[in-house]
Structure 1
Amino acid sequence: MSMIDIKKPEDVSTASVVTLGLIGGWVTARETGIRPLGGVVLAAAGYWAARSWVATSGPVTATALTALYVGAFGASHPLAKKIGPWPAVLTVTAVAGGAACVVSDLK
């Protein structure tokens, strides 16, 4: 038995991971002032979620959900100029997390 017990990909709640990645990445970048550090949080969560999507839904669905995740991150920037940073991050997180829940987690 290893010292770190990592969940099987099939047992991961990807909606939670997506939420952590988008909100956590943004908060990390904002509070530390180090944008690449926020990117590390975003990328790590994206990898973790994609690992589960491949295992539970296959590579095509995993690619689509990953594209949505990355697209949500990208869309949050221009959206923030229109509605503000918090509302933008919460909006894109709701869309990406909701899609992850419906397409993968509820299967």
Structure 2
Amino acid sequence: VYERRKETIERVFADMKEKHGLRWTTLRGKEKLSMQAMLVFAAMNLKKMATWLWRKGISPLDTLNFYPLFGVLKKILSRYIQPLFSKLGKQGLKFCFVNKLKYRK
């Protein structure tokens, strides 16, 4: 049981810390930290969904297959992400984008 858990659940936490910059933060306050964590979780879920669709043989370049996803993303962006970026301020924006470039291959 623990060997299987190590392969699935612990991997998610390791990726969250190393690839998505949750090892440390430059933000202050519970609200800002919660918003940063939610953004990271949303990004991780989108990556999982894109990988799942790709393995099913659905090309991400085919916009017809992703049309429902775009509608959901548009709602999420307008409702949660835009207000989040205004609350994070310049420091939070810098962290979000610079940290993602660090791990590109």
TM range (shorter): 0.3 to 0.5
Higher helix share: 1
TM-score, L = length of structure 1: 0.34
Larger Rg: 2
